[in-house]
């Protein structure tokens, strides 16, 4: 009863068959082939299998595969159009990335100055009026009608707060998503750039 | 012009030079594709596509074995086709033969110098080999087709497969072992002189 050879032995036998073993490994294996019957049988089987495969008939080509001028022209055009598209996509993604980076810098730099100052002012406006009117009321007793804060001033303060709130939402949205957009665009620019390079250099 | 000069001329846009390279390698390219893919029509398409792709990317060829560079394009195209076939398996409306094999007397095997008996033996042998090859995974099949069927050495096969030499060695050994087991199953179908257990068949 024969025992199966190990995968390592099989690999050695296969390499030995092709003359791809080192001289030392060859000497070792030849010694073992003399002494181990199962190994010698496995080698013989492998040798026959390879001989059988080498007898496999070669197919005749069904036609010529030479290129016509038309085929060659179309091949060149398809390469350059694919490469150009990817290059343009890469350039567009890079440009957008730069714009978003500039936008992000502007958003993160200016808000403290613009709406960081405007919002508290708007919020403080009605309170300042209240204080003014309270002082006025204390100083000029009997003149209750003049002490009431003018309604148009409240309306103006409300409008300013609303404007600032709207601005805050819009800018806040952009600021909070700018990082994701930047990462996405950087990724897109790199991928399309690599694809353009691959399209040009790798068949 | 030798091969190197033909390649240089082709890189400079000489279509005639490129076509001379095509004529030198079309037999090899088609045979590799035909062994890797099951259908002759798919092998024909893969070969043509490979030559078009080689022409398109000829400028990216940086020397070394042109044969290995070209066969890498062929095998990559075949892997793409095999993946496509796996995604969208198709059944032929009329198989070449009842068991889906090639016809009993395919034109590509015809040889005017041999007897009908020899012809039948070659067809049987080819059928058995192809059936066993089809059972191997794509990379194992590639290793055995390049080294055993086309007679390439390990270094060239490693270049084609873009794998380290050790990987090619081990894949080839395992592929041979699997193929051996498979071919033993066809022992009765094979002509006597091709049987594995027949002494002196090698």
Which residues of B are less than 8 Å from A38 in CB distance? none
Confidence at B95, pLDDT banded by 50, 70, 90: very low
Residue B171 clears pLDDT 60, i.e. is over it: yes
Q: Is A67 on the interface with B (CB under 8 A)?
A: yes
Is the overall model pTM greater than 0.90, yes or no?
no
The model's pLDDT over A71-84, given as tens digits with 9 standing for 90+, comes to 888 877 776 666 66
CB A64 within 8 A of CB B26: yes
Which residues of B are less than 8 Å from A50 in CB distance? 148, 176, 202
Which residues of B are less than 8 Å from A64 in CB distance? 22-23, 26
Give the pLDDT confidence score for residue B185 in this predicted structure: 84
Q: B97 vs chain A: nearest CA distance in angstroms?
A: 19
Q: Is A62 on the interface with B (CB under 8 A)?
A: yes
In whole angstroms, how large is the CA radius of gyration of chain B? 18
Please report the residues numbered 78 through 107 in chain B whose beta carbons come closer than 8 angstroms to any beta carbon of chain A.
Answer: none
What residue ranges define each of the domains in chain B, with the CATH number in brackets?
1-88 (1.10.1740.10), 108-195 (1.10.10.10)
Residue A62 clears pLDDT 90, i.e. is over it: yes
**How much is the mean pLDDT over chain A?**
74
Give the pLDDT confidence score for residue A171 in this predicted structure: 65
The model's pLDDT over A147-161, given as tens digits with 9 standing for 90+, comes to 556 677 777 777 766
Residue A176 clears pLDDT 50, i.e. is over it: yes
Q: Where are the domains of chain A?
A: 7-54, 79-201
Give the pLDDT confidence score for residue A79 in this predicted structure: 66
Q: A189 vs chain B: nearest CA distance in angstroms?
A: 23
Percent of chain B with pLDDT strictly greater than 90: 61
Which residues of A are less than 8 Å from B34 in CB distance? 59
What residues contact B60, with CB distance under 8 A and at least 6 apart? A200, A201, A202, A203
Give whichever of A162-171, B97-106, B116-125 has the largest mean pLDDT: B116-125
Give the pLDDT confidence score for residue B200 in this predicted structure: 43
Residue A172 clears pLDDT 70, i.e. is over it: no
Spatial distance between the Cα atoms of A104 and A181, rounded to a whole number of angstroms = 10
Identify the weakest region by mean pLDDT among A42-56, A175-189, B33-47. Answer: A175-189
Over range B140-167, report the average pLDDT.
95
**How much is the mean pLDDT over chain B?**
84
Spatial distance between the Cα atoms of B125 and A96, rounded to a whole number of angstroms = 62
> Residue B175: how many CA atoms within 13 Å on its side-chain side?
28
Three-class SS state of A4: coil
Closest residue of chain A to B76, computed from CA coordinates: A203
Give the pLDDT confidence score for residue A122 in this predicted structure: 47
CB B61 within 8 A of CB B11: yes
Do A67 and B23 make contact, defined as CB atoms within 8 angstroms? no
Which of B23, B31, B53 is closest, CB to CB, to A203?
A: B53
Identify the weakest region by mean pLDDT among A3-7, A14-18, B88-92, B157-161. Answer: B88-92
Confidence at B199, pLDDT banded by 50, 70, 90: very low
Which residues of A are less than 8 Å from B151 in CB distance? 54
Over range B102-127, report the average pLDDT.
68
Give whichever of A71-75, B56-60, B142-146 has the largest mean pLDDT: B142-146
Handedness of CA A22, A23, A27, A30 (dihedral sign): positive
Spatial distance between the Cα atoms of A87 and B193, rounded to a whole number of angstroms = 60
Identify the weakest region by mean pLDDT among A58-62, B60-64, B96-100. Answer: B96-100
Spatial distance between the Cα atoms of B173 and A9, rounded to a whole number of angstroms = 10
Percent of chain A with pLDDT strictly greater than 90: 25
Confidence at A170, pLDDT banded by 50, 70, 90: low
CB B169 within 8 A of CB B139: no
Residue A61 clears pLDDT 70, i.e. is over it: yes
Q: B90 vs chain A: nearest CA distance in angstroms?
A: 23
Which of A14, A67, A79 is closest, CB to CB, to B176?
A: A14
Confidence at B187, pLDDT banded by 50, 70, 90: confident
Spatial distance between the Cα atoms of A152 and A146, rounded to a whole number of angstroms = 14
Over range A110-132, report the average pLDDT.
49
Minimal CA–CA distance to B35: which of B151, B120, B198? B151
Closest residue of chain A to B50, computed from CA coordinates: A203
Give the pLDDT confidence score for residue A25 in this predicted structure: 95
Which of A11, A47, A200 is closest, CB to CB, to B169?
A: A11
Give the pLDDT confidence score for residue B194 in this predicted structure: 59
Greater confidence, A10 or A137? A10
Q: Is B125 on the interface with A (CB under 8 A)?
A: yes
Do B52 and A71 make contact, defined as CB atoms within 8 angstroms? yes
Give the pLDDT confidence score for residue B38 in this predicted structure: 80
Which of A54, A57, A65 is closest, CB to CB, to B48?
A: A65
Minimal CA–CA distance to B27: which of B85, B70, B65? B70
Confidence at A36, pLDDT banded by 50, 70, 90: very high
Residue A126 clears pLDDT 60, i.e. is over it: no
Identify the weakest region by mean pLDDT among A85-99, A163-177, B133-147, B175-189. Answer: A163-177
Percent of chain B with pLDDT strictly greater than 70: 81
**A69 C-beta neighbours (distance < 10 Å), count:** 8
Q: Is A45 on the interface with B (CB under 8 A)?
A: yes
Give the pLDDT confidence score for residue A200 in this predicted structure: 64
């Amino acid at each position: 009863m024969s025992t199966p050879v190990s995968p390592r032995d099989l690999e050695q036998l296969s390499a030995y068959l092709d003359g791809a073993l080192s001289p030392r490994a060859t000497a070792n294996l030849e010694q073992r082939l003399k002494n181990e019957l199962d190994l010698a049988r496995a080698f013989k089987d492998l040798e026959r299998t390879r001989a059988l495969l080498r007898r496999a008939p070669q197919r005749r080509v069904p036609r010529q595969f030479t290129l016509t001028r038309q085929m060659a022209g179309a091949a060149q055009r398809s390469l350059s159009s694919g490469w150009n598209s990817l290059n343009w996509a890469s350039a567009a993604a890079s440009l957008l990335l730069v714009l978003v980076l500039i936008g992000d810098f502007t958003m993160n730099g200016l808000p403290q100055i613009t709406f960081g100052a405007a919002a508290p002012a708007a919020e403080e406006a009605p309170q300042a009026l209240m204080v003014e009117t309270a002082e006025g009321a204390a100083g000029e007793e009997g003149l209750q009608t003049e002490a009431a804060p003018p309604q148009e001033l409240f309306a103006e303060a409300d409008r300013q707060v609303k404007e600032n709130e709207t601005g805050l939402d819009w800018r806040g949205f952009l600021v909070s998503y700018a990082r994701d957009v930047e990462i996405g665009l950087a990724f897109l620019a790199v991928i399309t750039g690599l694809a353009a390079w691959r399209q040009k250099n790798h068949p | 012009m030798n091969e190197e000069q033909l390649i240089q001329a082709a890189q400079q846009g000489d279509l005639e030079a490129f076509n001379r390279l095509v004529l030198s390698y079309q037999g090899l390219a088609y045979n590799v594709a035909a062994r890797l893919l099951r259908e002759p029509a798919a092998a024909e398409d893969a070969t043509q596509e490979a030559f078009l792709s080689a022409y398109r990317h000829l400028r990216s060829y940086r020397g070394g074995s042109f044969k290995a560079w070209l066969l890498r394009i062929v095998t990559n195209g075949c892997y793409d086709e095999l993946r496509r076939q796996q995604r969208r398996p198709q059944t032929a409306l009329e198989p070449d033969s009842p068991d889906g094999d090639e016809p009993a007397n395919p034109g590509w095997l015809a040889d005017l110098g041999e007897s009908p008996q020899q012809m039948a033996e070659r067809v049987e042998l080819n059928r058995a080999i192809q059936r066993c090859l089809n059972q191997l995974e794509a990379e194992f099949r590639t290793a055995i087709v390049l080294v055993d069927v086309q007679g390439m050495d390990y270094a060239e096969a490693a270049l084609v497969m873009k794998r380290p030499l050790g990987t090619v060695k081990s894949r080839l050994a395992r592929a041979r072992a699997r193929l051996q087991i498979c071919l033993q199953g066809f022992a009765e179908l094979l002509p006597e002189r091709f049987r594995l257990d027949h002494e002196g068949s090698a």
